[in-house]
Amino acid sequence: MCVSGSDSCALLLLFVVVRQDRQRVYMVLEYADGGDALKHIQASGAITEERARMWTCQIASAVRYMHELDIAHRDLKLENLLIDASDNIKICDFGFVREATPGDLSQTYCGSKSYAAPEILQVSGTSWFLLCDATQSAVLPWQVVCPSVCDIEVLCRVI
């Protein structure tokens, strides 16, 4: 998934397919001992603005890297952000990843509505893959600094 030498590459959770049979694929994932960001926020509460700024920059860098490769994640949310031993964010769960080719339309919705771009919820058959990642990335900092603002409708009223 990553191009050697890329700084943003370090922010994507790497995996190696170890074995595959007719029913299963066995993968070994990079270890992120801090767990996912949602469980961290639920256990510890809001994080500092400085820490949120660092995480936001890391997320933006990783998303920019994926978009430069014409890849849309389409499911950025706290549960898909893992924390490593150095308190860095690692994006994981690439199950909804899609190549974002110009003019290509998506006929199916995927991801979490709480993080979805309003355009995605209103229009079916859209090619807004990259906008979806951008909107999801913008919601994440609010959720780590203000965890009580989890509902997208409440968030939109606050903004």
Catalytic residue among 33, 36, 75, 133: 75
Lowest mean pLDDT among 9-18, 20-29, 83-92: 9-18
Lowest mean pLDDT among 71-80, 108-117, 120-129: 120-129
pLDDT at residue 120 above 70?
no
What are the residue boundaries of the structural domains of the chain, listed by start? 8-158
Establish whether 75 is a catalytic residue. yes
Per-residue DSSP letters for 3-53? -TT-TGGGGBPPEEEEEE-SS-EEEEEPP-TT-BHHHHHHHH-PPPHHHHH
Fold of the CATH domain 8-158: Transferase(Phosphotransferase); domain 1 (1.10.510)
